[in-house]
Structure 1
Amino acid sequence: MSDREKLIALFHERALKFGDFTLASGKKSTYYLDGKQITLHSIGLRLVSLGLLDLLKDVDYSAIGGMVIGADPIVGGVLVAAAEQGRSLDGFLVRKEPKGHGTQRYVEGPLKPGSKVVVIDDVVTTGGSALQAVDRILEFGCTVACVVGIVDRKEGGAANFEKRGLPFRSLLSIEDFGIAAPANG
């Protein structure tokens, strides 16, 4: 079984739920992918981290990060996996609100203006969370080399990134779970 197949099986086992759900985008759905069930699991995080490094092997970037909570474990995992490969890489996290004390920044980490970065998200529906992170990163003075998701639900995220001129990649798509992508996605 390949690492990709293992990751898909782990999503089926731990993170894919059926029912009536309202997504962060506000959309209604009959299924929910809880990415944190994967990224907060040792094997899941390892598979995701190595997969992302491989997915991004031809992208020129020096830091990886995204919105807090969703991106937190992914950033940590990718940094450890990069170090194991002998690669120097910085991480960053983007707050929803600026820190109320100290530096009062939206962007946390050793990131410097002018850096080329990758913005990550666990599950991409419309791309709203990743685009929030992109806006903060651009305000900070960095260039976004790529936006990447673990799973693309194919519900407009890729198109929204394209409208902004942002390259997008994902490790998996909803079709990998036997679920048809919406016709408008």
Structure 2
Amino acid sequence: MFDRPRLLQLFRERALKFGDFTLASGKKAKYYLDGKQITLHSEGLRLVSQGLLELMQGVECSAVGGMSIGADPIVAGILTVAAEQGKSLDGFLVRKESKGHGTQKYVEGPIQPGDKVVIVEDVVTTGGSSILAVDRVREFGAEVVLVLAIIDRMEGGRQNFADKNLPFQSLLTIEDFGLQPPQA
């Protein structure tokens, strides 16, 4: 069972930082949520994986994956928790750039064209990284049925997913930390 209060506590202790930051989206921010401080921590990854797997309940899919490097530990964690629960699930990783040798694929893992998959992300601002992963997975031939994030910064990502007919859910939002999204 996902322990939401404990995950919030871990984020406050390990991953929420204040200052002047430039996000992956290019936006400027006064706070930063470093998801890797959670997904590369044993208890944090377990909590995240349990929570995301709960959000996947009732979703018809055979695999979970996302943009490498951020999604790598999340994918591994979800696969481990799924196995502990007796659920069969494959994982995959999406490269930002194809490797210059071998198969030169963007999508790595045991998924096949036609598979229904879920994309995972640590922190969503505008959703750009996840949308790139979705585009690569669609080009591969798989169907994206859901996008999941640990945290939604509430800065346009949800709307950008909706504009592409992509269902989106997150475990937490910035409001869970007492922060407000910037006014447009």
Shift of 1:55: 1.0
TM alignment of 1:1-185, pairs within 5 A = 3-184=3-184
Number of residue pairs matched by the alignment: 183
The residue identity in structure 2 corresponding to 1:90 is D
Residue by residue, what CA displacement relative to the aligned partner does 1:28-81 show, whole Å, maximum 9, x if unpaired? 000000000000000000000000010110211110000001000000000000
> What stretches of structure 1 move > 3 A for 4+ residues in a row?
none
Gap runs ≥5 in structure 2:
none
Alignment root-mean-square deviation, CA = 0.8
Taking the aligned partners of 2:79 and 2:183, their CA distance within structure 1 comes to 36
Over the matched positions of the two proteins, sequence identity in percent amounts to 69
Taking the aligned partners of 2:163 and 2:116, their CA distance within structure 1 comes to 20
The residue identity in structure 1 corresponding to 2:96 is K
Taking the aligned partners of 1:151 and 1:63, their CA distance within structure 2 comes to 21
TM-score if structure 2 supplies the norm length?
0.98
Taking the aligned partners of 1:99 and 1:78, their CA distance within structure 2 comes to 25
State the secondary structure of the residue aligned to 2:44: helix
State the secondary structure of the residue aligned to 1:73: helix
TM-score if structure 1 supplies the norm length?
0.97
